[in-house]
Amino acid sequence: MAFTDKQESLVNSSYESFKQNLSGNSVFFYTIILEKAPAAKELFSFLKGSAAVQDSPKLQGHAEKVFGLVRDSASQLRATGTVVLGDATLGAIHVQKGVADPHFVVVKEALLQTIKKAVGDKWSGELSTSWEVAYDALAAAIKKAMA
Ligand code: HEM
Ligand code: ISQ
């Protein structure tokens, strides 16, 4: 099924909601990930050894990158029907950190919950599906680069 203009604009506008409170949303995003996968804390250089998720420019920067790449992926899907990784090193980074398939599910769930919180009453099934499709295509491209 083609990724539509409507789906792209839903992703774009909710990405702006995410950015509106980058600090709070980023902390929420990591908190959900660590609730679901506590061991993942040791994977992130900027979380390692800390008791709780601490807000920092680094933490926000990494979270912003992840959400930004999903947003780019939505635009690529709408324009070309596929996702090509702009950064060829993404596969190697994740292999080196020991990221495995189940982690991608955890990050996906955390991403969706974070967008849900960011958009409040604008949340809808269509909005959710748009993020899911864009994330799944990006995750598939990263996994392919990891293989
Ligand atoms: C590093 C994106 C999935 C763990 C990175 C980097 C990017 C990125 C852009 C480079 C560092 C940065 O600038 O932030 C993504 C995207 C994902 C994804 C778009 C899914 C579509 C995952 C998953 C995990 C993970 C599932 C496992 C929990 C890491 C770690 C690093 C990293 C540990 C290194 C961070 C550090 O510098 O300590 N990722 N990632 N990523 N990613 Fe991912
Ligand atoms: C995955 N890769 C890079 C950075 C991230 C930040 C938060 C959650 C997942 C991530």
140 ligand 1 Cβ < 6 A:
no
Residue 34 beta carbon below 6 angstroms from any ligand 1 atom: no
Residue nearest to atom 1 of ligand 2 (CA): 66
pLDDT tens string, the chain, 147 residues long: the values are 799 999 999 999 999 999 999 999 999 999 999 999 988 888 988 888 887 888 899 999 999 999 999 999 999 999 999 999 999 899 999 999 999 999 999 999 999 999 999 999 999 999 999 999 999 999 999 999 999
Which of 83, 75, 65 is CA-nearest to residue 5? 75
All domains in the chain, ordered by first residue = 5-146 (1.10.490.10)
Return the ligand number nearest the Cα of 38: 1
Beta strands in 2-66 (DSSP E): none
Ligand nearest to the CA of 59: 2
- The ipTM (two decimal places) reads 0.95
3-state SS class at 107: helix
Distance between CA 62 and CA 121 in Å, rounded? Answer: 26
Cα–Cα distance between 92 and 106 in angstroms, integer?
20
Query: Measured between alpha carbons, how far is 7 from 10 in angstroms, rounded to an integer?
Result: 5
Rounded to whole angstroms, what are the CA distances from 112 to 33, 40, 84?
A: 11, 18, 22
Q: How far is ligand 2, taken at its centre, from the CA of residue 66, in Å?
A: 6
